[in-house]
Structure formats: structure tokens, C-alpha cells
């Protein structure tokens, strides 16, 4: 299976098993996928999107004292309405969330992508903090979701 088929199939499975993933778990999922793709030598960055994404994440980062606290990003007008990944494949950049792989654009679903990017490590720490995310996503399901992601990618996209 190729990379796009693998990610699209995995996203379909995740949406079926964890239907609220994009309602509070998108950063969790993005950091999981980002971590797994990095292990496989794929260049990955985390994208953040919102209804009105005009601020630059890289510029805001300079004014955020604790980059792992969403409230500090919010104070800089960076809102985490949706989170996904941006990855490079054969010299071309793509966006991905559980809804599938798409060519890089200014949109992630119905949201506008902020200029600037987070690292996978930054997103992982943000995702680990339960406060401030949509509570529709049951965070108790994170360990099972991680097992599903790792097991599926180990069989379809070994490193």
C-alpha cells in the first residue's frame, strides 16, 4: 500500500472507531501520525487551523512564555480549532488529518491554516494537556487509539 492509501485508510478507521477525533482529539491524532512518519524518515510539521487564522505561529511563538499552554497561544490570537499535519512526499507538500490526504493549501477542512508551523514535539506536549480541548473526544481512548495507529502503520508502512 502506498503512503496516501495507508493514511487515508487509517483515517477512515480512526473516524469510525473514534468518531469525535476531530472534536477534541485532532492534535492527539496529528502528533501520533507525525511521530510515526518522522520515524520513517518523512519530513513532517504540524499545522494549526481556525476560522480566522491571520496571525503567524512562528512570530507568536516569540511572545509565548510557555509554548505548551494553549492559553498562552490564545492570548496571541492563535486558536486550535483544528490540527493536522503537513508532510513532504516526493518533493511535494501535503496536508493530512483523519479525513484524508490533500495537496497543501490554505485550508484544513473548513478552517484556514495559520502561517507558521509547530514541531511534532510541540504538538505532542500540547495534546497531552487535557485542558482547553473540546470535551466531546473521550481522552480515555487515547492509549487504544495510539495502539491502533502503531499496529496499523507497522503492518502497512514498516520502517
pLDDT per position as a tens digit, 16-38 = 999 999 999 999 999 999 999 99
Cα–Cα distances in angstroms (integers) from residue 89 to residues 6, 69, 101, 117, 133, in the given order: 13, 31, 11, 18, 30
What phi and psi, each to the nearest 5 degrees, are found at residue 149? -60, -50
**How big is the chain by its Cα radius of gyration, in Å?**
15
Contact in structure between 64 and 73 (CB atoms under 8 Å): yes
Contact in structure between 89 and 101 (CB atoms under 8 Å): no
**Per-residue pLDDT at 1:** 63
**Per-residue pLDDT at 68:** 84
* Ranges of the chain whose pLDDT falls below 50: none
Amino acid at each position: 500500500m502506498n503512503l496516501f492509501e495507508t493514511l487515508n485508510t487509517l483515517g477512515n478507521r480512526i473516524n469510525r472507531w473514534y468518531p469525535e477525533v476531530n472534536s477534541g482529539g485532532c492534535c492527539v491524532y496529528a502528533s501520533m501520525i507525525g511521530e510515526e512518519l518522522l520515524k520513517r524518515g518523512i519530513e513532517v510539521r504540524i499545522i494549526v487551523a481556525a476560522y480566522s487564522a491571520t496571525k503567524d505561529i512562528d512570530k507568536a511563538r516569540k511572545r509565548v512564555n510557555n509554548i505548551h499552554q494553549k492559553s498562552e497561544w490564545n492570548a496571541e490570537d492563535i486558536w486550535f480549532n483544528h490540527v493536522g499535519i503537513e508532510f513532504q512526499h516526493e518533493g511535494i507538500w501535503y496536508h493530512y488529518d483523519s479525513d484524508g490526504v490533500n495537496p497543501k493549501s490554505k485550508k484544513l477542512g473548513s478552517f484556514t491554516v495559520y502561517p507558521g508551523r509547530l514541531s511534532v514535539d510541540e504538538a505532542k506536549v500540547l495534546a497531552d494537556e487535557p485542558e482547553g480541548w473540546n470535551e466531546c473526544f473521550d481522552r480515555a481512548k487515547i492509549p487504544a487509539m495510539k495502539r491502533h495507529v502503531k499496529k496499523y502503520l507497522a503492518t502497512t508502512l514498516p520502517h
